[in-house]
Amino acid sequence: MQTKRTIFSNRALPIALIAPQLVITLIFFIWPALQAIRSSFEREDPFGLRTSFVWFQNYTRLFADPTYLSAFGRTLLFATAVTVLAMAFALVLAAAVSRVMRSANAYTTLLVWPYAVAPVVAGILWWFMFNPSIGILPYVLGQFGITWNHRTSGTDAMVLVVIAATWKQISYNFLFFLAGLQSIPNALSEAAAIDGAGPFKRFFTIVLPLLSPTTFFLLIINVNYAMFDTFGIIDGTTSGGPNQATNILVYKVYADGFLGLNIGSSAAQSVILMLIVIALVFVQFRFVERRVQY
Amino acid sequence: MAAIEIASVRKVYPGNVEAIKGIDLSIADGELVVLVGPSGCGKSTLLRMLAGLETISAGEVRIGDRVVNRLEPAERDIAMVFQNYALYPHMSVRGNLEYGLRNRRTPRDEIDRRVKEAARILEIEPYLERKPRQLSGGQRQRVAMGRAIVRKPRAFLFDEPLSNLDAKLRGQMRVEIKRLQRTLGTTSVYVTHDQLEAMTLADRLVVMNGGVIEQVGRPIAIFERPETVFVASFIGSPPMNFVPVSELGADAPGLPAGTDLVGIRPESLSLERPEGPALEFETIVELIEPVGGETHLHLRHTASGRTLIAQMRGRVVEAEGSPLRLWCSPRALHPFDTRTGRRTD
Amino acid sequence: MVENRPLLNIATHLVLIIGVAIVVFPVYVAFIASTQAPGTFFRGVTPLLPGPAMIENYTTMLTDGMSTSGAPPLWLMLVNSTWMAVIVTVGKISISILSAYAIVYFRFPLRALCFWIVFVTLMLPVEVRIIPTFAVVSNLGLLNSYLGLTLPLIASATATFLFRQFFLTVPDELTEAARVDGAGPVKFFIDILLPLSRTNIAALSVIMFIYGWVQYLWPLLVTTDSRYYTVVMGIKRMAAYADQQPQWNLVMAAVILAMLPPVLIVIFMQRLFVKGLVETEK
């Protein structure tokens, strides 16, 4: 691991400096994670008096449970939809902003602030917009003969949370795409123009390939966001309903463990989620650090 | 001010890489010693060991009457000028000059007096309140010098301080450093890879190679009598010509026993035959470089096919590609034994 | 731009205007709703033009809150949120810059292990270890306290990495010059390294403040006493009641107030915000 050529020779000081970070990490991160792993192998009796070691029973039950498996599939659908939509929108906007010179800053300002909106607030904003009795969007949809009710229709509810989650994430993706676009040397576009490529052709043959490191990085970040940071959006709007239609994995851990008090199952779900995060972080550091180079 | 004594000093890096292989050197009080050598020869490492920025694996370093092996840099009472100046970017010039003094709890009026004096000597008074980034390269260099001067240390350590400047400024600053060092009389160790800088600055020159000292002496003495093949090839510009004795031909003069290589300075080759015995070189002119007051001739030695360089006063009007006969007095030869790498006379 | 194509330029601006409209519209609707008189939301559609009751709604929310929802007045929750965001920001930056300093400028036993322990925090978001973390905080008696709200959030791998990255770019000669000038590790840190890190600290502060402000799940778990409610979690409680008792004008006033501080920070410190965001994720 890298250090400086010149280092200070003190022994106790660095340990004192890093101690606060270590203590907090050990107490609030590592210890609870180990506890979750332990609980995932245990079951409490119905009165919460005794726990017994049950090996992988919590896991096998989980994977035999159709509601968990469908939550898995639902999460996949949700994450894919949010990632694709948020990245596509952001890319279009970033490409447009990088084309305008004078007003780029103004547009950027108008586009980035949703980053600072809490997920639960984003959820509530769209929930209100889509409110079946007074919301503006169901009224507009009604004019086209479409009835909207996310309280009863699972599809409508899923569309609602996807839109809210996408809306919040556009600003983040936009900034990274814009930074990526601005780091592509102008000379490349000019060379392509001299070679006779029009603006659209240039975008797809020059700009997009050169942007692939950013795209890949955002892909990981967006999947991560959709899977974990959207808890507030779900809890602020549908609470996983109607009839489980928006119950994604991260919400289910909370619902089963905190509301349903099924500790063993919730712990097993936690461990599975941890493995997913570890895989994502691994992919990010393994492949994004050594970005696709040209 | 103090003398510096370096005794059997070695530096071994992890993995048994020996950067300094046992060095002895005495530097007198007030002397300006220049360490010169190619990159990787250990000159910077040696300087940093004097400064206390590298640990000393073996041996002893004394500054004045103290062994400083285990002392922190600040406790050694030395000042250092770095290649990239290492000015604190967030402090004004004044702040940079004061920092070391404040850390030593120097009284306020003393600090002010010294900063004022250093600023006057270095002519940086107008810039005292500016930040380093607002200064030119030469001005930053002066501030870096100022930071050393205000401390009134026992010794100045210079680590290639001029290599970030352009050629013209480098020449000016070289003269200023020499003048300043004379005025202050502070013991100084100066590291450079530029032999012109080394020759002009040094009271005494230390030529290093591969972690050892090749030769120590006054610059002119080293130039006139290099003790090893390495020193002969490293000091002097254009570099010395080397010809194996076997290629000298029949008119080779009596050379000391063991000699198998002779060195000839480019300026020792002449167009006129000197008095007494002389070596003759039949050559073809390949390239003529007029360098103002003198001319460098790149020649092909017909007998051996080697490239020789000759340095002539004034302009030379030979045509490129034409044959040219040159002479050299045997007294100007530097005889070497390649098996030991040392001089034979 | 390589060539001049007026039509494409117009299309570009059109795309951007539509994009901005989509991004802004929900907040516009929320703001309009927050200016309506009580009773507007019993029937019909949300109006699209401001109503007469803006000052009244906001005053009510700030001073009294929505009593039916069991949430305290908004001013209290805003204060709590500010506290939480500020403590998280200061805490995260302090412990991260210190640990980065230890990792970069010292060699000590188990240094690599320490680095990896810090790294692990990236892999354990609070959402996946809810119950055991709650148990730890509860056992430590930190429920319903600012310490409980903030302490488990202030370990930060990203901030540590950012500072480490920055420290590695600080020239070695600067450290050496400081050592020759008589500065030990503490003095060097305070006199040289900290001032050099100013911009990075500022940029990171913007990101961390937002991070602290938008926290939802954690405050939801550790606060049962309404005196410690943060505004983001308080809003959810109000919204949950708005379906039975449609006081959307009040809920939306709270929503606007809850968004305003971090959004204003992003808008007015855009340069620092962008720097912080792009560099922490590198």
Look at phi and psi of residue C140 and say left if phi exceeds 0, alpha if psi is from -120 to 50, else beta: alpha
Question: What per-residue confidence (pLDDT) applies to C208?
Answer: 93
**Inter-chain contact A28–C27, Cβ cutoff 8 Å?**
no
| Pick among C66, C216, C230 to test the A interface (most A CBs inside 10 A) | C216
Q: Which of B74, B89, B104 sits opposite C179 (nearest CB)?
A: B74
**pLDDT over 50 (residue A293):** no
**In this complex, which chains have at least 3 CB pairs below 8 Å with chain B?**
C
Mean pLDDT of A67-87: 94
Number of neighbouring beta carbons within 10 Å of residue B103: 16
Residues of chain C found within 8 Å of residue B111, distances taken between Cβ atoms: none
- Token match 């901030």: residue? C159
Residues of chain C found within 8 Å of residue A97, distances taken between Cβ atoms: 16
Residue of chain B minimizing CA distance to C197: B90
Taking domain B4-232, whether its CATH number is 3.40.50.300 is answered by yes
- Token match 């450079």: residue? B192
**pLDDT over 90 (residue C235):** no
Residues of chain C found within 8 Å of residue B83, distances taken between Cβ atoms: 173
**Inter-chain contact B86–C176, Cβ cutoff 8 Å?**
yes
Band of residue B251 on the pLDDT scale cut at 50, 70, 90:
low
Please write the tens of the pLDDT for every residue from C114-168: 888 888 887 788 878 888 888 899 999 999 999 999 998 898 888 998 899 899 9
Residues of chain C found within 8 Å of residue A105, distances taken between Cβ atoms: 270
SS3 B169: helix
Residue of chain C minimizing CA distance to B53: C176
Phi, psi of B153 (to 5 degrees): -80, 175
**Inter-chain contact C182–B83, Cβ cutoff 8 Å?**
no
Q: How far is B158 from chain C (nearest CA, A)?
A: 12
Residues 141-170 of A with CB under 8 A from C: 167, 170
**pLDDT over 90 (residue B280):** no
**In this complex, which chains have at least 3 CB pairs below 8 Å with chain A?**
C
Question: What per-residue confidence (pLDDT) applies to B114?
Answer: 94
Residues 91-150 of A with CB under 8 A from C: 92-93, 96-97, 99-101, 103, 105, 107-121, 124-129, 131, 133-136, 139
Q: How far is C31 from chain A (nearest CA, A)?
A: 10
Q: How far is C88 from chain A (nearest CA, A)?
A: 13
Q: How far is A131 from chain C (nearest CA, A)?
A: 9
**Inter-chain contact C23–A114, Cβ cutoff 8 Å?**
yes
CATH of domain B242-343: 2.40.50.140
Q: Does B73 touch chain C (CB under 8 A)?
A: yes
**pLDDT over 90 (residue B159):** yes
Q: State the ipTM, two decimals.
A: 0.89
| Pick among B72, B76, B87, B103 to test the C interface (most C CBs inside 10 A) | B103
Q: Which of C96, C131, C217 sits opposite A263 (nearest CB)?
A: C131
Q: What is the CA radius of gyration of chain C?
A: 24
Band of residue C243 on the pLDDT scale cut at 50, 70, 90:
low
Residues 192-221 of A with CB under 8 A from C: 193, 199, 202, 217, 221
H-run or E-run covering B27: strand B17-27
Q: How far is A159 from chain C (nearest CA, A)?
A: 16
Question: What per-residue confidence (pLDDT) applies to B50?
Answer: 94
- Token match 């004379």: residue? B182
Question: What per-residue confidence (pLDDT) applies to C66?
Answer: 74
A58-72, B294-308, C1-15: lowest mean pLDDT where?
A: C1-15
Alpha helices in chain B (DSSP H): 43-51, 93-103, 108-122, 137-149, 167-184, 195-201, 219-224, 229-234
Residues of chain A found within 8 Å of residue C117, distances taken between Cβ atoms: 22, 25-26, 30
Q: Which of B74, B80, B88 sits opposite C192 (nearest CB)?
A: B88
**pLDDT over 60 (residue A294):** no
Phi, psi of C145 (to 5 degrees): -150, 155
**Inter-chain contact C191–B51, Cβ cutoff 8 Å?**
no
How do the domains of chain B map onto residue ranges? 4-232, 242-343
Question: What per-residue confidence (pLDDT) applies to C281?
Answer: 61
Question: What per-residue confidence (pLDDT) applies to A288?
Answer: 60
**pLDDT over 60 (residue B313):** yes
Question: What per-residue confidence (pLDDT) applies to B309?
Answer: 94
As a whole-number percent, the residues of chain C with pLDDT over 70 amount to 94
- Token match 């008792």: residue? C245
Q: How far apart are CA A129 and CA A138, in angstroms?
A: 8
Q: Which of C179, C191, C196 sits opposite B89 (nearest CB)?
A: C196
Q: How far is C8 from chain A (nearest CA, A)?
A: 9
- Token match 């919040």: residue? A168
**Inter-chain contact C235–A8, Cβ cutoff 8 Å?**
no
Q: How far is C91 from chain A (nearest CA, A)?
A: 10
Q: Which of B83, B84, B100 sits opposite C181 (nearest CB)?
A: B100
Structure tokens at A115: 């980053």
What average pLDDT does chain C have? 87
Beta bridge mates, C76? none
Q: How far is C95 from chain B (nearest CA, A)?
A: 23
Q: How far apart are CA B181 and CA B335, in angstroms?
A: 37
Q: Does B114 touch chain C (CB under 8 A)?
A: no
Between B276 and B260, residue with greater pLDDT: B260
Q: Are B266 and B296 in contact (CB under 8 A)?
A: yes
Q: How far is B155 from chain C (nearest CA, A)?
A: 12
Residues 6+ positions from A261 with CB-CB distance below 8 Å: none
Question: What per-residue confidence (pLDDT) applies to A188?
Answer: 85
Q: How far apart are CA B241 and CA B266, in angstroms?
A: 7
**pLDDT over 50 (residue C215):** yes
Residue of chain B minimizing CA distance to C172: B86
Q: Which domains does chain A have, with CATH numbers?
A: 64-288 (1.10.3720.10)
Q: How far apart are CA B226 and CA B217, in angstroms?
A: 10
Band of residue A292 on the pLDDT scale cut at 50, 70, 90:
very low
Q: How far apart are CA B296 and CA B302, in angstroms?
A: 18
Q: Which of C176, C181, C195 sits opposite B103 (nearest CB)?
A: C181
Q: How far is C191 from chain B (nearest CA, A)?
A: 9
How do the domains of chain C map onto residue ranges? 75-233+261-280
What average pLDDT does chain A have? 87
Q: Are C246 and C264 in contact (CB under 8 A)?
A: no
Residue of chain A minimizing CA distance to C16: A93
**Inter-chain contact C183–B88, Cβ cutoff 8 Å?**
no
Residue of chain C minimizing CA distance to B95: C191
Please write the tens of the pLDDT for every residue from C37-61: 887 777 777 788 888 888 888 888 8
Please write the tens of the pLDDT for every residue from B195-250: 889 999 999 999 999 999 999 999 999 999 999 999 999 999 899 999 988 887 76
**pLDDT over 90 (residue C202):** yes
Please write the tens of the pLDDT for every residue from B185-197: 999 999 999 988 9
Residue of chain A minimizing CA distance to C256: A121
Question: What per-residue confidence (pLDDT) applies to C2?
Answer: 56
SS3 B235: coil
**pLDDT over 80 (residue A46):** no
Residues of chain C found within 8 Å of residue A116, distances taken between Cβ atoms: 210, 213-214, 259, 262-263, 265-266
Question: What per-residue confidence (pLDDT) applies to A1?
Answer: 64
Q: Label residue C82 exposed, middle or buried (CB < 10 Å: 0-12, 13-18, 19+).
A: middle
Q: How far is B106 from chain C (nearest CA, A)?
A: 12
| Pick among C169, C175, C176, C180 to test the B interface (most B CBs inside 10 A) | C180
Taking domain C75-233+261-280, whether its CATH number is 3.40.50.2300 is answered by no
A194-198, B41-45, B124-128: lowest mean pLDDT where?
A: A194-198
As a whole-number percent, the residues of chain B with pLDDT over 70 amount to 98
Question: What per-residue confidence (pLDDT) applies to B321?
Answer: 85
Q: Which of B73, B86, B103 sits opposite C173 (nearest CB)?
A: B86
As a whole-number percent, the residues of chain A with pLDDT over 70 amount to 95
Q: Which of C1, C123, C151 sits opposite A24 (nearest CB)?
A: C151
Residue of chain B minimizing CA distance to C170: B86
Residues 171-230 of C with CB under 8 A from B: 171, 173-174, 176-184, 187, 191-192, 195-196, 198
Residues 118-147 of B with CB under 8 A from C: 147
Please write the tens of the pLDDT for every residue from B142-158: 999 999 999 999 999 99
SS3 A111: helix
Q: What is the DSSP string of chain A?
A: ----SS-B--SHHHHHHHHHHHHHHIIIIIHHHHHHHHHTTEEE-TTSS-EEE-TTHHHHHHHH-HHHHHHHHHHHHHHHHHHHHHHHHHHHHHHHHHH-STTHHHHHHHHHGGGGS-HHHHHHHHHHHT-TTT-HHHHHHHHTT----TTT-HHHHHHHHHHHHHHHHHHHHHHHHHHHHHTS-HHHHHHHHHTT--HHHHIIIIIHHHTHHHHHHHHHHHHHIIIIITHHHHHHTTTT-STTTT--HHHHHHIIIIIS--HHHHHHHHHHHHHHHHHHHHHIIIIITT----
What average pLDDT does chain B have? 91
Q: How far apart are the first and last CA of chain C?
A: 28
**pLDDT over 80 (residue A291):** no
